[in-house]
Amino acid sequence: MELDGAVALVTGAASGLGRATAEGLHASGATLVLVDTERLAGKKLADAGIGVFVPADVTNEAQVQAAVDQATALGPLRVAVNCAGVGWGSRIVDRHGKPHDLGLFRQILDINLVGTFNVLRLAAVAMAGNPRPTDADGAAGAERGVIVNTASIAAFEGQVGQAAYAASKAGIVGLTLAAARDLASLGIRVVSIAPGLFDTPMLDEVPGETREALVKAMAAPRRFGETPEFASLILEIVRNPYLNGETIRLDAGLRMMPR
């Protein structure tokens, strides 16, 4: 997938993994549509020349459609990256004997899983209208677009208090191959990344003692991931036409302990 002249839409673009992804795609020649609920941070990124900011909640159909429409107005939408997500924790039964709040469980699944699917389905419709690209020899290529989702290693090794988060990310893993098969005939690839611990605002919620234990559990390198390393994998997925229907762990060999 060539990025020069292509449009890429990134959710959660105002900070963390999403921001690094947007910056990496921009540096590689793509025109960016930046989607986030954080208006000030999103506008600041747009003012820096990274792309066009469209405030949107990924669970809102009309708002996501407006972001996709903005992308297609700029050119062919070739790349969509889902980085928007939340990671609030709660035990199924807390120390006072109260059950996990059902509304919180639904909210986490709604943002992380339903929001990802909402962006995926609307971006796929836009990509399906793209002409199939032509290679240097004039032969019609197969790709119209690439959609990359963000899962988590919690999908495989959810910790204490991560029932909702792990379930939402496991849903993304399960969605990946099914979506890749659904969209194959349209020339759209779907790949997910399951990141480990990256130095993002979400990591600030993890207690210091737990952070130290997690670093020690890594194979190598024993440190938190840097957001440009996540963005680098996004670029490889976009560029490598043989990557499809897979969830790729990016975690320095970390296998999460129960807590």
* Cα–Cα distance, 151 to 169 (Å, whole number): 5
Does the annotation mark 242 as catalytic? no
- What would the two tokens of residue 248 be? 């790729």
Task: Please report, for residues 57, 90, 113, 178, 198, the alpha-carbon distance to residue 155 in angstroms, rounded to integers and kept in the order given.
Answer: 23, 16, 12, 17, 16
| Phi/psi-derived region of residue 64, left when phi > 0, alpha when psi is between -120 and 50, beta in every other case | alpha
* Cα–Cα distance, 19 to 11 (Å, whole number): 9
At 19, the amino acid letter reads R
Catalytic residue among 53, 165, 224, 230: 165
Q: Is 177 exposed, middle or buried (0-12, 13-18, 19+ CB in 10 A)?
A: middle
The DSSP line for 58-69 is: TT-HHHHHHHHH
E strand spans, the chain: 7-11, 31-36, 52-55, 77-82, 145-150, 188-195, 247-250
Task: Please report, for residues 11, 22, 111, 176, 234, the alpha-carbon distance to residue 211 in angstroms, rounded to integers and kept in the order given.
Answer: 26, 27, 25, 29, 25
CA angle at 111 for the pair 37 and 224, rounded to the nearest 5°: 80
For strand 188-195 and strand 31-36, is the pairing parallel, antiparallel, or unpaired?
A: unpaired
Count of CA atoms in the C-beta half-sphere (13 A) of 169: 28
Catalytic residues, which ones?
165
